[in-house]
Structure 1
């Protein structure tokens, strides 16, 4: 019998310090059945984002309820006027502050069809609360204008598959191909009630949504690849994906055919197993979203905003409760202006 390998290895989202985890009836690539470890020694590495880990074992169903809260706060100063000297501005200064709370409850179902293929379905439900405070200076006594908006409902449902490309033998990392489809099942910004925003003189100055949308309103397809590399005592991981968002004709009232910018996503990090029950991980994720294009009357124009950079630093912990259940907590801190200030997510994967 060969001696057990001494690396800390991530298999099916689980690690054991000093040996590979396998279940009866499941053959780990490159590991003889005589070297299989007892499944009750497995613990879960705390994932920074979803779909980190080897595919679900064949015939196993995992149900993962989760709850997350994201908080965003931003302040915008708009100046309409001209500068007499660098320290003196003549005109209107508009200061607006937005505070947004987004609560997401979701159920994710994962099923392993084979030792290399997994499929999952994620169904989210969103509750959004938003407060907007505006102050117009140089119009007598400054007065704050307060507006509130909220929305709740089903979000965009996601269906994804993952396929394990390599078995991690010969010192190579585990490579996994992923493909995700997001359907516009949530209420989009083009479906909610809208009303005209007027200034003090009754002139239209913009559009206000009556409630916050819970979906994007567009189909999107996301192919990608991820890797997992065991390097005792840590497990290194990373991912790269490209989100293709399909253009859609939203009608003349909404500007015609709208093509949201495609998204480039990448991330990396590492995880540690403290013992057979507790693990910790640290990582960084970044998304680059280019301009949105609007095609109207056979002309193609770009939206006013430039590309958006969304980056966040995350750390998480996981505690195994039973051989088939664990509790994971992830905290993310935004490091770019467009990212949420903070996000907390709680997950409870249950395997059958």
Structure 2
């Protein structure tokens, strides 16, 4: 009998049990690791979903902000969409269009009441030169315009001296000056970004003047008429505008602008006067020009700010500005025969201006505006001294305007100005037809 056989069997059984236990532990470890991998995958999936939800929420917040800005801008366009140029939000801005496309792609959800039909707000007519609402980004506006002006002024010139009160030794020259102007211009505006635009204006001027005079105490009972006219390109202008803030209903909008005026037009120092040798001192003529100028003769820079305050059902608007004329040196006047009469340095007076108005929409296409415009012109200086006969001038004009919108691209704007001071044109008629591209 072999005693080693039971021992071998017992040892084999122990080894088998140990191996079985080790295999079970390994299997349990593999199952645990597989479970952990599944949990990690679930966590990663949930993290990805959260990130996608954050991105979607961020896009929705951006859409809401864009729609809010577009709503404020549409309110401004409805309260005061300028007739002299296509309003900045006459066509939906790019940001608003993209936001609307995203909203349209989403399923419709019920709301408290049915939405009102979408209509374009009515426009308010432009009556001042500087508009307040900017051109949309990437849009071009071409504005042909025609302006007619007329004014008459009476002058009494005392040529002589007095020896006692009410006794004049010399001549009394009574003059009436009547001037008619017609200015055709083409203006181009281009929107750069949401709050910035550039503008260029090229005018063509026709001017005609009649001077009627009679020298009293000379035995003549016949009026003398002196006529002169001129036509040609006027002073080209370039303007930049920037909207300073994001306004809204019952919140003012502020637009800053800077205008540069050239002297491309023919000025007073380039035309010929009827003086034979000189017009200063012992004059040998009336000093009146044989051809009227079409430009001012001075380069100028004009900063300003325009404000608009929409409040249902009207909008109030206005502007403040300061125009600085740059002085010219070595200026001379041209007399008969082509001779030049030196005048030295000429510094035209600077101009302080302000205006205020209100606009009211009559319906979806027609609107009217009322306003007042005033400019204070300083004295002209010659060689550092006040020029002879130079005085401070106040120009005041009452204006009324009307506009009619033909379609989404074009608006006809008419305005009438009536002078309230002696130096202001008696009548000014302006027609504008801005078209957006």
TM over 0.5: yes
Kindly indicate whether the alpha-carbon contact (under 8 Å) linking 1:23 and 1:39 is maintained by their aligned counterparts in 2.
Answer: no
Counting only pairs closer than 5 Å after superposition, residues 1-352 of structure 1 correspond to structure 2 as: 9-10=76-77, 14=81, 23-27=91-95, 41-79=120-158, 80-82=160-162, 91-169=170-248, 171-196=250-275, 204-251=284-331, 253-295=341-383, 300-304=384-388, 305-352=390-437
Give the unaligned 5+ runs of structure 1.
none
Deviates more, 1:40-49 or 1:319-328: 40-49
**Post-superposition offset of 1:74:** 0.6
- How many residue pairs are counted as aligned between the two chains? 335
Question: Does the C-alpha gap of structure 1 residues 27 and 265 become closer, same or farther in structure 2, counting only changes over 3 Å?
Answer: farther
Distance 2:117 2:161 in 1: 72
Query: Does the CA contact (< 8 Å) of 1:8 and 1:231 recur in 2?
Result: no
Return the offset for 1:22.
6.0
More deviation in 48-57 or 268-277?
48-57
Structure 1 runs, 4 residues or longer, greater than 6 Å off? 1-5, 37-40
TM-score (norm 2): 0.71
Q: Within 1, Cα distance between the matches of 2:217 and 2:276? A: 21
Deviations 1:110-163 (A, max 9, x none): 110111001110000000011111001111132211110000000000000100
Which whole-Å deviations, capped at 9, do the CAs of 1:61-120 have from their partners, x for residues lacking one?
Answer: 11000001000101111233437565x655422110011000000000011011100111
Q: Which moved more, 1:328-337 or 1:241-250?
A: 241-250
Report SS of the residue matched to 1:336: coil
Q: 1:182-239, CA deviations, whole angstroms, 9 ceiling, x for partnerless residues?
A: 01100011111223169xxx96254231200001121100011110000111110010
1:277-334 deviation per Cα after TM superposition (whole angstroms, max 9, x unaligned): 0000001111111111112xxxx21112211111101000000011110101100000
Distance 1:284 1:101, change over 3 A: same
Q: TM-score of the superposition, structure 1-length normalised?
A: 0.87
CA distance in 2 between counterparts of 1:49 and 1:67 reads 14
2:248–2:310 contact (8 Å) kept in structure 1? no
Counterparts of 1:160 and 1:73 in 2: how far apart (Å)? 32
Higher helix share: 2
Q: d(CA) in 1 for partners of 2:249 and 2:124?
A: 23
Kindly indicate whether the alpha-carbon contact (under 8 Å) linking 2:240 and 2:257 is maintained by their aligned counterparts in 1. Answer: yes
Gaps of 5+ in 2: 1-63, 83-87, 104-115, 333-340
Asked if the contact 1:11–1:21 (Cα under 8 Å) also holds between the matched residues in 2, the reply is: no
